[in-house]
Structure 1
Amino acid sequence: MTKLKFLILFYFFTWAAEAQELNFTVIINSDRSRIQNTDIFNQMKTNFEQFLNGRSWTDDEYRPEERVKGNLLITINDVPQIGFYNATVQVQVVRPVYGTNYESLILNFADRNWNFEYLESQPLEFNRFTFLNNISSLLAFYAYIALGIDYDTFASRGGNPFFEVANDIVNNAQQSGRPGWVQTQTDRRNRYWLINDIYVSTIYGSIRDAYYLYHRQGMDLIQIDPETAYKNILEAIKLVATANKLQPNGIFTITFVDAKSDEISQVLKSAPFEIRDEAVKLLLEVDPNNARKYNELLRS
């Protein structure tokens, strides 16, 4: 899929071709680090943003306004020694909805276990085919996850090329022995299980189909054909429920509802009652923790 759809002037073409694909904001919370001099964290923020936003991750051409927007929220939990950090990461990615100013949250993932070494003015290099360090591997992994999810919302399974690279990053990083890259049953909210459920496993393929149906055939039609949009959003929820029946509480299922539960509970308020009724029954099976939120749909 080509993001740059119209080329009008040579000048504009040159300017647009130079634009990168990502527009991420990195936020670093260092309150728990007990480090008085926060200059290192300001530098870290700048360096991480430059790594994400300053390089080309695809062969496609993007206008600046088409760049994939997201937040990387890094909480420094501990600094056991100088230059070594233990952290958690929250990754959030949004996508514009056609014909509106609204941005739909498409990824909201909490990565609970990341440790890394960072030295002042440290350059960050990345190689798809080898593990260089735990910073560039994690940042590149989520860059490709963000792109893959975004492309999946515009074309059916359009994110395959990016998920393939993300899977390569996980495979290469396993040699490091660092937490988050390996298969574990104690904490499935990690990078290994995220890419496994999205790309490697066949069980959750219907959730990827749901991303396209929900956004391109649902949210993007809300303003012009709400009847069709509501039906397609319901069909997307059915696809998620299908995957959940095959393998309950998978990390990809949880990731979907973490991103979409608030939005669904708002968007479907205007849907016909039969749509809301069927959607709520499915959502209570997939995401019982938000039962109160979904049951409100029946009172609208």
Structure 2
Amino acid sequence: MRKLCLLFFLVLNFTALEAQELNFSVIINSDRSRFQNTDIFNQMKNNFQQFLNGRSWTTDEFRPEERIKGNLLITINDVPQVGIYNATVQIQVVRPIYGTNYESLVFNFADRNWTFEYIESQPLEFNRFTFLNNISSLLAFYAHIALGIDYDSFSNRGGNPFFEVANDIVNNAQQSGRPGWVQNPNDRRSRYWLINDIFVSPIYSPIRDAYYLYHRQGMDLVQVDPETAYKNILEAIRLVAEANRLQPNGIFTISFMDAKSDEISQILKNAPFEIKEEAVKLLLEVDPNNAKKYNELLRS
């Protein structure tokens, strides 16, 4: 279990336990850029991975097996000049399901507009209250999004402290004027709108509650109490639909369905027909692009 590491505060002569909460794999695809210096991308990968995995982001103690797994998939689209990179980023976070070997995809988001400067052997530092550069801000932002989503899935709105830091990172980065950090109504798939929908706007609060219901009160119970689990998964879908009615096609809603559509269509196959019927009605409303997938539930 995750416990607050009080020893750090009580015994100053002892070294605090390095929590190292994240276990992320960084993958960099530079094929599109046709940039010849592949060594820089290998170094970049190791540097970014160390930034995410090699520091403590919380005061909680994590066992090695409790570290939050995820992928950061970076596609280098262009290198307009030496040291400047235009990229897209996909962030995926998974969570283990109690009593199984299954890992559930809890977050899946594509960040399509990231420009950054990187030089060989560049040190990466992070300060919650200051914008230092466009690399450490983006990596720290998604580290805290990953933590917040994970904690929300174990405790109702347990991710608040991490989303608060992510919001601070966005506010500080706005001074840079860089795409993704500023309010742009024509670019809803951005860091600004993501944290706005998750943490700032009350409209999407039901999706925060859905994360807990779906995972802790749903997926974690499927093996031991399927009747309760299916009811709670249905209620989670109902909450997402509720948010979508208030503000259709929000980025938080889209992100939830991007992570969950395949899983829902599989996990509900064994649910009672009345659960499936109501779930499909709601899913068609929220995620009509996957209508074929959901309608298959009624024939299973």
> What residue number does 1:75 align with?
75
SS of 1:223 mapped into structure 2:
coil
Counterpart residue type for residue 32 of structure 1: R
> What residue number does 2:97 align with?
97
> What residue number does 1:203 align with?
203
> What residue number does 1:182 align with?
182
How many residue pairs match? The answer is 292
Show CA shifts across 1:174-232 (max 9, x none): 00010000111111000000000000000000000000000000000010000100000
Show CA shifts across 1:226-262 (max 9, x none): 0100000000000000000000000000000000000
Counterpart residue type for residue 87 of structure 1: A
Question: What stretches of structure 1 of length at least 5 have no aligned partner?
Answer: 6-13
> What residue number does 2:119 align with?
119
1:96 Cα deviation from its structure 2 partner: 0.3
2:59 aligned with 1:47, yes or no? Answer: no
1:19 Cα deviation from its structure 2 partner: 4.0
Instruction: Give the Cα separation in 2 of the matches to 1:142 and 1:209.
Output: 20
8 Å CA contact 2:207, 2:240 repeated in 1? yes
8 Å CA contact 2:21, 2:68 repeated in 1? yes
Question: What stretches of structure 2 of length at least 5 have no aligned partner?
Answer: 5-13
SS of 1:203 mapped into structure 2:
helix
8 Å CA contact 1:206, 1:243 repeated in 2? yes
Instruction: Give the Cα separation in 1 of the matches to 2:62 and 2:290.
Output: 37
8 Å CA contact 1:198, 1:252 repeated in 2? yes
Runs of 4+ aligned residues of structure 1 deviating over 2 Å after TM superposition are 14-19
CA separation of 1:255 and 1:15: change in aligned 2, threshold 3 A: farther
> What residue number does 2:226 align with?
226
Instruction: Give the Cα separation in 1 of the matches to 2:54 and 2:234.
Output: 38
8 Å CA contact 2:19, 2:58 repeated in 1? no
Counterpart residue type for residue 85 of structure 1: Y
Instruction: Give the Cα separation in 2 of the matches to 1:179 and 1:123.
Output: 23
> What residue number does 1:8 align with?
none
Show CA shifts across 1:256-287 (max 9, x none): 00000000000000000000000000000000
Counterpart residue type for residue 42 of structure 1: N
CA RMSD, 1 decimal: 1.5
Taking every aligned residue pair, what percent have the same amino acid on both sides? 84
Instruction: Give the Cα separation in 1 of the matches to 2:16 and 2:26.
Output: 23
> What is the TM-score when the length of structure 2 is the normalising length?
0.95
1:126 Cα deviation from its structure 2 partner: 0.6
SS of 1:189 mapped into structure 2:
coil
> What is the TM-score when the length of structure 1 is the normalising length?
0.95
Show CA shifts across 1:129-168 (max 9, x none): 0100000000000000000000000000000000000000
8 Å CA contact 1:16, 1:63 repeated in 2? no
SS of 2:267 mapped into structure 1:
helix
SS of 2:203 mapped into structure 1:
coil
